[in-house]
Copies of this chain bind each other. A is one copy, B any other.
Amino acid sequence: MHAEHFKAARQAARAGAGSGGIPIGAALVRDGKLVATGHNERVQQSDPTAHAEIACLRAAGRQSTYRDTVLYSTLAPCAMCTGAIIQFQIPCVIVGEAETFPGELDLLRSRGVDVVVLNDPECINLMLDFQQSNPGLWAEDIGR
């Protein structure tokens, strides 16, 4: 775990918030080098599939393998993003926090993915502020 990569994911989350969107960011890393970042773009692109992790994997483009990568996300991955991690065989996921949304960490672990949760206070506060200010948008994003 490299702190600067987690910071890149958190910076992407802030950039998403800054453009009027949902403050969740992700970063894909290979051999200690940043491959791509992404943030949730449901609002900006009217794209419900553009969760941070999906936007990041899309930005990274086609890859011959993900088995040598680590995915960082500021929030616990939902079922869709968990499925993407399983499908692409990403072996390790670093999660900013799972306090404001539990995600599917048990499913990830049951498929052999190494999951680390950082309990990052900045990520928690970003999400708490967003959820309290935008309950309808948050409910839409998590399908409730």
Contacts and interface: CB of A to CB of B under 8 A. Distances in A.
Contacts of A66: 143
Interface residues of A, number: 30
**In the complex this chain forms, how many copies of it are found?**
2
A126 interface: no
Nearest to A104: B83
A61 B47 CA distance: 5
A88 B48 contact: yes
A84 interface: yes
A91 to B, nearest CB: 12
Interface of A: 42, 46-50, 54, 57-58, 60-64, 66, 78-84, 86-89, 104, 140, 142-143
